[in-house]
Amino acid sequence: MANTITAVLPSIYAGLRVVSREMIGLIPAVQRDANYSRVALNQVLNVPVVGPATSNNIVPGSIPPDDGDTAPTTIPLTISKSKYSPVRWSGEEQLAIGANGTTYNLVLAQQFAQAFRVLSNEIEADGVAAAVAAASRAYGTAGTAPFGTADDFTDFAGLNRILDQNGSPMFGRSLVVGSDARFNLEGKQKILFKVNEAGTDALLRDRSMANVSGFGIGYSAGVVARATGTGSGYLVNHASGYPVGATAITVDTGTGTYLNGDTITFAGDTNQYVVVSLTGTALVIAGPGLRQAVADNAAITKDAAYTPNLGFTQDALLLAARAPAEPDGGDAATDARMVTDPVSGLSFEIRHYKEYRRARWEVGVAWGWGAPNGQNIGLLKG
């Protein structure tokens, strides 16, 4: 069988070079695993997670203590989407534009660029949503983009404090921001432009930013304002209150909803906690839970809608991506090839189908996101 894709590979890679320069900052910063070929669409893969260890006093004796057992939990990961973007030409269309000419190749390159773009952007947006859903706590002010005060790195410090308090690794930290936070970084923080202080002229010359306060900086078009619930007036409802570390909290009095990703505070506690769910009177917040004890009848305040800039360590998020499954023995495709985006590292499958006086290409990928270490994710609100 002739390799029918070879002739269009230059156009495919030209398209990749265009789309890979767009604002995709989350995908390159997380764990990626393409070895989920045996996981079917919507099939759950349980990723094991071992909880914190314990320590005990040493008491000499004839035999060692009968302890050390563990009960790992699991984080579900699902290949939740399998999608394609099509490119198709009829013979007459190719003839009209000049099938062997420059114009056709330019148009074909742009078509592939748009195919890679739409798939990459959807994967990126899903990753942002997964990070927000699993995040531990938040810092910042809803509706106010971070880094807005000149020569002030408090927002970096606030996000680092969350990760430090959660015991997150000091290495492999990333901060992925949206356009408003990026605007302030470039417009307000002039220290980052000073070569003698920043140690590089990369930001000044080509908008490339090195590590700042331990964070590798990325930019994402997927970081946008999110919706918020309608809940108000809720109070803690537990006679003895709740201790440090609690995540399941009974509430009463209030009305309305809390959405996963909403941020709340408790009276007397300035920490901003991320809501997992509110079902009836059962409120669940993300681990590692309360930073300080809360009393019975403590008022709960939900913050307004915000834009979730993301601070995390590489192990916090996992992207599983693979080629869409084909049936045993193949389908009607005359050729298939994997093409890897050199910037994001994502691999897409290109398939070619010969139709009746038409040629059709399909750019496809299957993916799913998981958050095995949500405690290593903090939100910087804007």
> What tokens does 72 get?
């790992």
pLDDT of 3: 44
Per residue in 126-165, pLDDT (tens digit) is 999 999 999 999 999 999 999 999 999 999 999 999 999 9
> What tokens does 6 get?
């070879």
* 41 — pLDDT class (breaks 50, 70, 90): confident
Distance between CA atoms of residues 322 and 367, nearest Å: 6
Q: What is the pTM of this model?
A: 0.88
Domain boundaries, the chain: 6-50+75-132+321-376, 135-224+309-315, 235-305
The residues near 346 (Cβ < 8 Å, ≥ 6 apart) are 27, 32, 120, 123, 321, 340, 365
pLDDT of 206: 65
Task: Please work out, in degrees rounded to the nearest 5, the angle formed at the alpha carbon of residue 16 by the alpha carbons of 10 and 18.
Answer: 110
Per residue in 209-253, pLDDT (tens digit) is 778 899 999 999 999 999 999 999 999 999 999 999 999 999 999
Most confident of 41-45, 210-214, 362-366: 362-366
Overall average pLDDT of the 14-35 stretch = 71
The per-residue b/e assignment along 210-226, b for 16 or more CB within 10 angstroms, e otherwise, is eebebbbbbbbbbbeee
Domain 235-305 sits in CATH 2.40.30: yes
Do 129 and 81 meet the contact criterion of CB atoms below 8 Å apart? Answer: no
Most confident of 79-83, 185-189, 260-264: 260-264
> What tokens does 353 get?
């189908």
Distance between CA atoms of residues 382 and 379, nearest Å: 9
- Reduce the DSSP state of residue 364 to 3 states and report it: strand
pLDDT of 20: 47
pLDDT of 272: 98
Do 341 and 365 meet the contact criterion of CB atoms below 8 Å apart? Answer: no
- Pairing label, strands 137-140, 377-381: parallel
Q: Check pLDDT > 80 for residue 124.
A: yes
Do 185 and 209 meet the contact criterion of CB atoms below 8 Å apart? Answer: yes
**Phi, psi (deg, nearest 5) at residue 316:** -75, -35
What sections of the chain are H helices per DSSP? 9-19, 91-97, 102-134, 154-165, 179-188, 195-198, 202-206
The residue with greater pLDDT, 99 or 60, is 60
Residue among 136, 138, 132 at smallest CA distance from 223:
132
* 4 — pLDDT class (breaks 50, 70, 90): low
